[in-house]
């Protein structure tokens, strides 16, 4: 349900930033999840955000990350062509990319070549944490000291949503719910009309 929380939060951010198309996308997704979609569609939208390319439990990858990997792989193949590429060849690379990638993986396994990894080994952060904690304690940053301030943060508000007009936001949501209801009702009437005629 992290996805739903994200889109609720994002809807408020888009409202404040006057990003009307993103705000509408946020509303439509939440309306679909909470009211419009069938239970099956709801499950697919909420839980279908990961891809498992190598089979097995615990090997799911985020969909955006997989797209980034595929883009990198495709670009490396196009780069190998040098100046000899055309739209048809690039299209062919895109269509055969996963097959070629699996062939490469199988060849590397049979030759006992360790797979290339984009992840780094885990580094211990204990030394860094202790250094930061020491600096924070020495600077007494969590202690209220009269007269201490930083000129860059004089007008900063600690509440991101303090400037939101709640009535305006509720009005927007109500308008969208109403228009969505009438669109759905009209489409049902069209279906019924064509069904009985």
Output the pLDDT for position 197: 52
Cβ–Cβ under 8 Å, residues 142 and 133:
no
Tens-of-pLDDT digits for all 197 residues of the chain?
A: 677 888 899 999 999 888 999 999 999 889 888 888 899 988 888 877 777 777 777 777 777 788 888 888 888 888 888 888 888 888 888 888 888 878 888 888 888 887 666 566 677 888 899 999 999 999 888 887 787 777 766 676 667 787 788 899 899 988 988 888 888 777 666 555 555 55
Give the C-alpha separation, 94 to 70, whole Å.
9
Name residues whose C-beta falls within 8 Å of residue 100's C-beta, 6 or more positions apart in sequence: 77
How do the residues of the chain divide into helix, strand and coil, expressed in percent and rounded to 5?
A: 65, 0, 30
Structure tokens at 108: 């590397």
pTM of the model: 0.50
Q: Residue 163: helix, strand or coil by DSSP?
A: coil
Output the pLDDT for position 135: 92
């Amino acid at each position: 349900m992290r996805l739903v929380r994200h889109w609720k939060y994002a809807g408020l951010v888009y409202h404040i930033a006057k990003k009307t198309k993103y705000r509408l996308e946020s509303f439509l997704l939440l309306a679909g999840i909470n009211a419009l979609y069938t239970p099956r569609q709801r499950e697919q939208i909420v839980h279908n955000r990961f891809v498992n390319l190598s089979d097995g439990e615990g090997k799911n990858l985020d969909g955006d990350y997989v797209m980034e990997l595929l883009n990198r792989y495709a670009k490396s193949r196009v780069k190998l062509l040098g100046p000899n590429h055309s739209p048809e060849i690039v299209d062919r690379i895109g269509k055969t990319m996963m097959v070629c990638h699996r062939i490469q993986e199988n060849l590397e396994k049979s030759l006992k070549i360790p797979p290339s990894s984009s992840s780094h080994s885990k580094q211990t952060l204990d030394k860094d944490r202790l250094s930061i904690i020491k600096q924070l304690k020495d600077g007494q940053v969590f202690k209220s000291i009269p007269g201490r301030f930083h000129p860059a943060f004089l007008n900063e508000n600690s509440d991101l949503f303090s400037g939101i007009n709640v009535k305006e936001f509720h009005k927007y949501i109500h308008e969208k719910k109403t228009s969505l209801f009438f669109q759905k009702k009209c489409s049902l009437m069209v279906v019924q009309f064509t069904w009985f005629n």
